[in-house]
């Protein structure tokens, strides 16, 4: 099978990590695999198997984007091409129609599309949302990464339920547990004061402001520190908040880390404060590190991953509830063996079998 994964870049992000895991799996199974990128480079490029072919757009001029993509489709003649997010999903569908190729298109929703639409500014990406009911029906298959997202997408895209396939993200691999054992040099991680950790891009959806406020509240009651791993446009704003609350000795923005699981495994508790998600890869990574989790009960993902026994859920946007649950969880950690076993249920090998079945059915 000649298979391609298409995305903007391979910078930090859950979608990019999923593409790396999936591409590596399929090339290992003997398939001809390519990763098509608009922009070259990215932190995750080094994680790709060297047998994977990297293909870049010949031009990034807006007037040439569809031509560049159609050119690749005509030249490579992929059996199946996978992409994700509304803007690239619609772009890919139009591109295939223009190229007039037989490539099967599998599009994917990785986030809460409705909430994203409501919260985003009026841009081309937002206008793309309006084309979903018109264009998604031309995809050969649609993948949703959680059951909740799948139900929501059915209503938004106006497509029959049989066209939507719920496949969780392939978030666990043996490499994760190896990474958990790697050393990390950080003065807080060798101390007796409990350390909270969170991982995610510094963007509005992750609501790091809420978590910082919760730490400010909890620090009045007990000693606690917070490490935030990730980069993004809100770094300066978050640092200003930390300074305003005099939390410089309690909260640190540590930037992007290629192997965050090695940091997680040294912490006391993982916290996810998101307003919305599609799945939540970092929750599986925290489980793989054997780390007790406190997460907002946002749509979608956390409740399906943690269920009622693998972590603690709190309502979104409620600083007091988050602070109190963190306090409780620090004193009532969950058995690490239970957590690591749960993480393995989202293994690359197990999840990718569902993709293998889907792709095979489309070309048979």
Predicted confidence pLDDT, tens digits, the chain (364 residues)? 999 999 999 998 889 989 999 999 999 999 999 999 999 989 899 999 999 999 999 999 988 999 999 999 999 999 999 999 888 999 999 999 999 999 999 999 887 666 666 565 656 666 677 789 999 999 999 999 999 899 988 888 899 888 999 999 999 988 888 999 999 999 999 889 999 999 999 999 999 999 999 999 999 999 999 999 999 999 999 999 999 999 999 999 999 998 999 999 999 999 999 999 989 999 999 999 999 999 999 999 999 999 989 999 999 999 999 999 999 999 999 999 999 999 999 999 999 999 999 999 999 8
Write down the pLDDT at residue 48: 97
* Burial class for 192, CB neighbours closer than 10 Å (0-12, 13-18, 19+): exposed
Q: Indicate the DSSP class of residue 45.
A: G
Q: Helices (DSSP H) in the chain: which residue ranges?
A: 14-28, 65-76, 86-99, 113-119, 124-130, 132-135, 147-157, 174-180, 208-218, 235-244, 260-264, 281-288, 302-306, 319-331, 336-344, 348-363
Q: How is the beta sheet containing 312-314 ordered, strand by strand?
A: 251-255, 225-229, 195-199, 269-272, 293-296, 312-314
CB distance 37 to 8 below 8 Å? yes
Write down the pLDDT at residue 308: 86
Residue 269: beta bridge partners?
196
How far is it, in rounded angstroms, from Cα 99 to Cα 146? 32
Write down the pLDDT at residue 118: 59
Return the closest-CA partner of residue 22 out of 154, 230, 41, 31. 31
Same fold, 2-170+347-363 and 174-344: yes
CB distance 23 to 35 below 8 Å? yes
Domains of the chain by residue range: 2-170+347-363, 174-344
Alpha-carbon distances of 286 from 36, 141, 282, rounded to whole Å: 30, 31, 6
SS3 306: helix
Write down the pLDDT at residue 120: 59
CB distance 250 to 224 below 8 Å? yes
Q: Domain 174-344 adopts which CATH fold?
A: Rossmann fold (3.40.50)
CB distance 314 to 298 below 8 Å? no
Return the closest-CA partner of residue 275 out of 356, 340, 324, 210. 210
Cβ neighbours, 10 Å, residue 209: 15
Domain 2-170+347-363 has CATH 3.30.360.10: no
How far is it, in rounded angstroms, from Cα 172 to Cα 177? 9
* Burial class for 321, CB neighbours closer than 10 Å (0-12, 13-18, 19+): middle
Alpha-carbon distances of 299 from 138, 139, 227, 273, 310, rounded to whole Å: 27, 24, 24, 12, 17
Query: Rounded to a whole number, what is the distance in angstroms from the first to the last CA of the chain?
Result: 11
Write down the pLDDT at residue 41: 85
């Amino acid at each position: 099978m000649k298979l391609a994964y298409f995305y903007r870049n391979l910078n930090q992000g859950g979608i990019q990590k999923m593409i790396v895991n999936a591409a590596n799996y399929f090339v290992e199974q003997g398939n001809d695999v390519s990763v098509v990128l608009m922009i070259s480079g990215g932190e995750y490029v080094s994680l790709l198997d060297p047998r994977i072919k990297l293909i870049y757009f010949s031009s990034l001029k807006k007037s040439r984007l569809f031509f560049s993509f159609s050119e690749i489709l005509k030249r490579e003649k992929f059996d199946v091409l996978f992409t994700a997010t509304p803007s690239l999903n619609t772009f890919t569908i139009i591109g295939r129609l223009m190229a007039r190729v037989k490539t099967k298109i599998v599009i994917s929703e990785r986030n809460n599309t409705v909430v994203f639409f409501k919260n985003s500014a009026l841009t081309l990406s937002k206008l793309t949302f309006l084309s979903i009911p018109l264009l998604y029906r031309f995809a050969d298959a649609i993948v949703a990464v959680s059951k909740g997202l799948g139900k929501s997408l059915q209503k938004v895209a106006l497509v029959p339920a049989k066209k939507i396939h719920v496949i969780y993200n392939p978030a666990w691999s043996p490499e994760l547990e190896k990474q958990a054992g790697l050393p990390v040099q950080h003065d807080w991680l060798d101390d007796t004061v409990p350390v909270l950790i969170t991982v995610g891009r510094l963007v509005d959806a992750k609501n790091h402001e809420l978590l910082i406020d919760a730490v400010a509240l909890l620090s009045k009651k007990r000693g606690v520190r917070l490490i935030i791993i990730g980069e993004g446009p809100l770094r300066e704003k978050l640092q200003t908040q930390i300074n305003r609350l005099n939390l410089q000795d309690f909260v640190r923005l540590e930037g992007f880390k290629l192997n965050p699981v090695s940091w997680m495994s040294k912490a006391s508790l993982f916290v996810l404060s998101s307003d919305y998600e599609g799945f939540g890869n970092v929750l599986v990574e925290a489980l793989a590190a054997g780390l007790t989790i406190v997460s907002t009960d946002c749509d979608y993902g956390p409740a399906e991953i943690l269920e009622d026994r693998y972590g603690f859920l709190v309502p979104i946007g409620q600083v007091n509830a988050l602070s109190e649950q963190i306090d409780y969880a620090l004193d009532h950690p969950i058995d690490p063996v239970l957590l690591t076993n749960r993480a393995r249920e989202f293994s690359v090998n197990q999840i990718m079998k569902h993709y293998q079945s889907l792709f095979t059915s489309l070309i048979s």
